[in-house]
């Protein structure tokens, strides 16, 4: 986003010093806001904090996510609640707050959610994650429907299997990792930079007539 010309407000439980430095190295501004999105009290007011600093929010990327794994018969209420709060409720609350600011300003905007292949599939041992990512796809569509008259486009990206902390356990399991790789036509796990083009497209004027879509970036997994 910074390489494409955006100033970037970064929200994280811990200070994202490395990311902030990369943003600033492009000549853009980085605003660091520490918040734990599993705590609703910390989620509320984040958009206002950005506007207080910069006076504007043009683009929101709902990228925060967490995951818990257990069989459905053993899944704990705590693990359910934590994932739903971060992956679903925070998406709604931040989108609502950003949309209100965009509508009030009257110059349109972009909201980009991070969905998942589990927005389409059930998965195994990740009940709350699957539920939340299904909800993200639905929220993307209803926000797109209601905000279209305000020139606000709302879309989502559904990444395939990407090399992140969330997939470390899968990649460390030779059997499971092998099963995943055999279904990916390009033959490798995705990298975070594989999502750059999709993010910039959906954040730019190039996608002015695209809204309510879930763009799959998965190396061909869903085609298989």
Out of 23, 91, 129, 207, which one is annotated catalytic?
129
Q: Which domains does the chain have, with CATH numbers?
A: 65-217 (3.40.50.720)
pLDDT, one tens digit per residue, over 63-117 is: 999 999 999 999 999 999 999 999 999 999 999 999 999 999 999 999 999 999 9
What pTM was estimated for this model as a whole? Answer: 0.95
Residue-by-residue DSSP string for 21-71 = HHHHHTT--EEEEE--TTSHHHHTTHHHHHHHHHS---EEEE---------
pLDDT, one tens digit per residue, over 21-47 is: 999 999 999 999 999 999 999 999 999
Structure tokens at 66: 């967490």
139 within 8 A of 162, measured Cβ to Cβ: no
Question: In Å, how far from its chain's centre is CA 54?
Answer: 22
Q: Is 161 a catalytic residue?
A: no
Place of tokens 């209100």: 100
- What does the alpha-carbon distance between residue 24 and residue 90 come to, in Å, rounded to a whole number? 27
């Amino acid at each position: 986003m910074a390489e494409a010309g955006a100033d970037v407000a970064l929200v994280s439980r811990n200070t994202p010093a490395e990311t902030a430095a990369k943003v600033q190295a492009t000549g853009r501004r980085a605003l660091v806001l520490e918040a734990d999105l599993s705590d609703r009290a910390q989620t509320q007011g984040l958009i206002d904090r950005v506007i207080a600093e910069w006076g504007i929010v043009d683009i929101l990327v709902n990228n925060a996510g967490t995951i818990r794994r257990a069989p459905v018969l053993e899944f704990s209420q705590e693990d359910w609640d934590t994932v739903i709060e971060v992956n679903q409720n925070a998406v709604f609350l931040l989108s609502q707050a950003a949309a209100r600011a965009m509508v009030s300003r009257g110059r349109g905007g972009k909201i980009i959610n991070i969905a998942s292949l589990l927005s389409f599939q059930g998965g195994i041992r990740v009940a709350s994650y699957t539920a939340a990512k299904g909800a993200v796809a639905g929220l993307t569509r209803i926000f797109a429907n209601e905000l279209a008259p305000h020139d606000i486009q709302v879309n989502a990206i559904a990444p395939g299997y990407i090399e992140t902390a969330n997939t470390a356990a899968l990649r460390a399991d030779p059997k499971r990792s092998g099963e995943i790789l055999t279904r990916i036509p390009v033959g490798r796990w995705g990298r975070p930079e594989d999502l750059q083009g999709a993010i910039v497209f959906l954040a730019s004027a190039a996608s002015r007539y695209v809204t309510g879509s879930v763009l799959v970036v998965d190396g061909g997994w869903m085609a298989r």
